[in-house]
Amino acid sequence: MRESIYHPLFAIVFLMLVSTFSAAQSRKSVSAAEVNGSFKMSFTGKYRDFSNDIKILALGGGKLRVAFDLVYPYTMSNGEIMVNLGQLDETATIVGDTAIVAPSDLKCQITIKFVKAGTIKVTQQGSDAECGFGHNVFSQGTYRKVSSKKPTFDPIN
């Protein structure tokens, strides 16, 4: 008899935990105020003066303008610090809290997840070259919002 009481109770607790976990994983939408701005992922150690930067602007209709300004810092054999560069300025599609940047002329897809206000997590499918970036330049990582001002963009040629 005791066992028959625990099975339904266990099932209810399990379903509550799964639904709570699922809700924490994804949100139905994010506000323009959360999206708009400039985000930065700073390097550490001797490269602490360098960062990867992303500017994002909500355009409406499930579209964002996203501009990446990325670097890969390294030290040459003579001790001089150099960087490889990567830039991308594209329109992204956003559904819920996840935006996808998939340039039609590249074999690259970059996913931007708005984890919480002020924080985005970026993942990249495709190599540095497939995304049009310099050697060892990648966009992935956790970025923090550094400005909520509406970003300005260079004209698209």
What pLDDT, on the 0 to 100 scale, is given for residue 113? 98
Rounded CA separation 30/145 (Å): 14
Give me the mean pLDDT over the 9-25 stretch. Answer: 46
Domain extent, residue 67, equals 32-147
Q: What does residue 95 show for φ and ψ, rounded to 5 degrees?
A: -130, 120
Handedness of CA 119, 18, 100, 106 (dihedral sign): positive
What pLDDT, on the 0 to 100 scale, is given for residue 41? 98
Q: What does residue 45 show for φ and ψ, rounded to 5 degrees?
A: 65, -140
Give me the mean pLDDT over the 54-78 stretch. Answer: 97
* DSSP class of 107: S
What pLDDT, on the 0 to 100 scale, is given for residue 29? 80
pTM for this one? 0.81
| Structure-model confidence comparison of residues 1 and 43, the more confident one | 43
CATH value at residue 142: 2.40.128
Does residue 109 sit within a domain? Answer: yes
The pair of structure tokens assigned to 32 is 């323009």
Q: Assign 61 to helix, strand or coil.
A: coil
Predicted confidence band of residue 16 (pLDDT cuts 50, 70, 90): very low
Does residue 127 sit within a domain? Answer: yes
Predicted confidence band of residue 25 (pLDDT cuts 50, 70, 90): low
Does residue 18 sit within a domain? Answer: no
The per-residue pLDDT for range 76-126, each reduced to its tens digit, is: 999 999 999 999 999 999 999 999 999 999 999 999 999 999 999 999 999
Handedness of CA 63, 94, 57, 123 (dihedral sign): negative
Give me the mean pLDDT over the 7-22 stretch. Answer: 46
Does residue 111 sit within a domain? Answer: yes
Report the number of distinct structural domains present in the chain: 1
Does residue 69 sit within a domain? Answer: yes
CA distance to 2, 21, 44, 116, 132, per residue, from 69 (Å) = 62, 34, 17, 22, 12
Does residue 12 sit within a domain? Answer: no
**Range of lowest pLDDT (1-15, 47-61, 99-113, 141-155):** 1-15
